[in-house]
């Protein structure tokens, strides 16, 4: 099973890119982030015509997450994280697909730091960690994938000294990441490529993609049953070079 995550940066505006990549890569499951569309504007028919069932949690202009499954409809198990009934952001969705539980997330950016957006990011991360604690010991493979908006280590960012004040590289955010890993989750890309330079995001400015001045902020965390099946993981970095593409590239893993 090939499971992918892709921050599309606007599902309708980037639909040709998404459909081109789906046809090329043919993943079995896809977690999408930053739909930037309310529920009624999700391009369900185009996705179905490409061979995928879908569930989605949209929001006008901002946020939004979806899970696609090739040849079937994902069985939704959760929409939104527990812990804050007043949270109106569409950032988490979860589904059972082919014996695997897949959580798709879009963790808050958190800038500017300090400030209320950064405080919200830390609270949201705490809620994610609390929910992840209920999933880690399941006896089925669990995959939590998406745009985490965190560079865990210096290896995950081009010129880390330039990011010391940014919310994506803040000590509190990186500490939250490792608190989650301490539950027993495996960082899939690092498990297979421990020392490689891996980026999943390149800014539109300063010719970042051509210079490979990127960040690794899109991640897969796997519980033990999923980690035992992990056979491959990579980034479709060439998609970032396509015309009118997202500033993220699709990232994928394969479970045997």
Catalytic residue numbers, as ranges: 106, 147
Question: Would you say the C-alpha torsion 33, 183, 123, 199 has a positive or negative sign?
Answer: negative
Handedness of CA 190, 196, 202, 206 (dihedral sign): positive
Strands 251-255 and 230-235: antiparallel
Helix H or strand E segment including 119? helix 116-133
* Neighbouring C-beta atoms of residue 197, cutoff 10 Å: 11
The whole-angstrom separation of Cα 127 and Cα 29 is 25
Tokens of 121: 């990011």
| DSSP-assigned states of every residue in 46-110 | HHHHTTEEEEEE--SSS--EEEEEETS--EEEEES-TT-TT-----EEEEEETTEEEEEEE----
How many angstroms separate the CA atoms of 49 and 42, rounded?
14
**Strand runs labelled E in the chain:** 2-7, 29-33, 52-57, 65-70, 75-79, 92-97, 100-106, 142-147, 186-187, 218-222, 230-235, 251-255
How much of the chain is helix, strand and coil, in % rounded to 5? 30, 25, 40
């Amino acid at each position: 099973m090939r499971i992918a995550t892709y921050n599309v940066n606007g599902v309708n505006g980037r639909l040709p890119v998404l459909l081109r990549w789906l046809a090329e890569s043919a993943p079995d499951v896809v977690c999408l982030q930053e739909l930037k569309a309310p529920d009624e504007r999700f391009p369900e028919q185009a996705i179905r015509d490409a061979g995928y069932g879908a569930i989605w949690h949209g929001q006008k202009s901002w946020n939004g997450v979806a899970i696609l499954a090739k040849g079937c409809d994902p069985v939704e198990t959760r929409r939104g994280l527990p812990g804050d009934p007043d949270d109106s952001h569409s950032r988490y969705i979860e589904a059972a697909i082919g014996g695997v539980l897949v959580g798709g997330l879009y963790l808050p950016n958190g800038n500017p730091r300090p400030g209320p957006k950064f405080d919200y990011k830390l609270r949201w991360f705490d809620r994610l960690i609390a929910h992840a604690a209920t999933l880690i010991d399941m006896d089925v493979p669990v995959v939590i994938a998406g745009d985490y908006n965190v560079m865990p280590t210096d290896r995950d960012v081009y010129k880390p000294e330039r990011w010391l004040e940014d919310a994506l590289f803040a000590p509190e955010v990186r500490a939250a990441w490792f608190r989650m890993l301490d539950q027993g989750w495996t960082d899939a890309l690092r498990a297979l490529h421990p020392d490689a330079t891996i980026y999943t995001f390149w800014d539109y400015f300063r010719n970042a993609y051509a210079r490979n001045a990127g960040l690794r902020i899109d991640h897969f965390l796997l519980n033990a049953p999923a980690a035992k099946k992990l056979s491959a993981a990579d980034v479709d970095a060439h998609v970032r070079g396509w015309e009118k593409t997202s500033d993220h590239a699709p990232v994928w893993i394969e479970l045997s």
